[in-house]
Structure 1
Amino acid sequence: MDPVRPRGTDPVGPPGTDPVRPPGVDAPPICEVPQFAPVHVRGGRYRLRRLTRHKRRAVAAGLAVTAAALVAAGPGDAGRARGHPTGAPPSTSAASPPSPYPSPLPSPRSSSSSLRGRGAVEMVAAPVRIADAATVRLLRPGDRVDVIAADGGSEGRVVAAGARVAEVPDFAATETGALVVLSVPRATAARLAGAGTTARLAVTLC
């Protein structure tokens, strides 16, 4: 048997050889780690700047699209969106139910008074006796005629110009002429009545 060696002793080999060490003591001795300069990755700062630039461009593009949408909407839509009422008030005619009773028609007296108040000419029906009964039979309601008074001279005078024929009575023809009803202003009717008492009246179609 091999003699027991005390701990911490190495066996001594033959001369000229390294002593045999026990297992676990072959590690090199501890030495100090030298100082190294920090390692910088090339392009890292450039990549960060490029990423930031892309983000800024995306934010600017989003703001531009939002501004274009607001301009296209117009100030009216923006005002309605904020709760401001529009310029025209809401119509209440559609909400109110229709009345079952018809609206009363204006009376003829009120209509004529309103026309006089507006400066319209008041028309009256004036019966006029025309000397030539055959000429009266040619007239029809709605025709326009000029009434001419002949006082016995060579030239007649126009008493009414452009008078509208309102009615042609069938039984009014006599030896002294025939009646025709004309729609003329009140002043013209007065002139026709005065001329019929002193002159013979004739008509010409307009």
Structure 2
Amino acid sequence: MPPFAPLRVRGGAHQLRRALRRRRRALAAGLAMTAAALAASGSRGADGAETEAAAAAHRERPPAAEMVSAPVRIADAATVRLLRPGDRVDVIAAGGAPSGEASDARVVAAGARVTAVPETRGQAGDGGALVVVSVPRATAAVLAGAGATSRLAVTVC
């Protein structure tokens, strides 16, 4: 038998890749259609009525709290300089008890996210410093009231 050059088939690997790509696309399209159908049907049964388990979940789930930005003046300006946006802090109100008596400290906002730490420009050292935290609307009202009657401090979570 005489020697001959090896037989080479052109485009074989490319055709295989293309076929696999088509198969993946078809599978992805099928999954997307299934997900869309499930989302459209939601928690409804075959007759269109909401299932009992889904109805119970809707009743038990509390409404999502609307988050607002609340500016808070912290008594210790040096503590505020340690904070960065994204930090989680507890805001603590220390009651203004007369000297000689122990003051009651209470947590006003737990786990509040720091959104901004404005620069202090030539403020007096005793005036504290401002920090902006993201809290639920109800907590923002409590923070505003506590800031008017107490000295506020923060602890980093």
TM-score under structure 2 normalisation? 0.54
What are structure 2's unaligned runs of at least 5 residues? 1-29, 34-61
**What is the Cα deviation at residue 204 of structure 1?**
0.5
Aligned length: 93
Q: Are residues 1:120 and 2:64 paired?
A: yes
Q: Are residues 1:136 and 2:80 paired?
A: yes
8 Å CA contact 1:132–1:178 kept in 2: the answer is yes
Higher mean Cα deviation, 135-144 or 147-156?
147-156
8 Å CA contact 1:130–1:177 kept in 2: the answer is yes
Q: Distance in 2 between matches of 1:173 and 1:151?
A: 27
Q: Distance in 2 between matches of 1:172 and 1:143?
A: 22
**2:112 matched to which residue of 1?**
163
Partner SS state of residue 170, structure 1: coil
**1:202 matched to which residue of 2?**
153
Q: Distance in 2 between matches of 1:187 and 1:137?
A: 27
Q: Which has the higher strand share?
A: 2
Q: Distance in 2 between matches of 1:173 and 1:150?
A: 26
Q: Distance in 2 between matches of 1:195 and 1:205?
A: 19
Partner SS state of residue 194, structure 1: helix
In the TM superposition, what are the counterparts of 1:1-206 in structure 2 within 5 Å?
119-153=63-97, 154=102, 155-171=104-120, 174-175=123-124, 176-206=127-157
What are structure 1's unaligned runs of at least 5 residues? 1-90, 95-117
**1:80 matched to which residue of 2?**
none
Q: Which has the higher helix share?
A: 2
Q: Which has the higher contact order (CA 8 A, sep 6+)?
A: 2
**What is the Cα deviation at residue 171 of structure 1?**
2.9
User: Which letter maps to 1:199?
Assistant: S
Question: CA RMSD, aligned part only?
Answer: 2.3
Q: Distance in 2 between matches of 1:186 and 1:202?
A: 20
**What is the Cα deviation at residue 197 of structure 1?**
0.6
Task: Please say which structure displays the higher CA radius of gyration.
Answer: 1
8 Å CA contact 2:77–2:128 kept in 1: the answer is yes
Q: Distance in 2 between matches of 1:136 and 1:119?
A: 32
Task: Provide runs of 4+ in structure 1 moved above 6 Å.
Answer: none
Cα deviation, 1:48-80, whole Å, max 9, x if unaligned, reads xxxxxxxxxxxxxxxxxxxxxxxxxxxxxxxxx
**What is the Cα deviation at residue 173 of structure 1?**
6.9
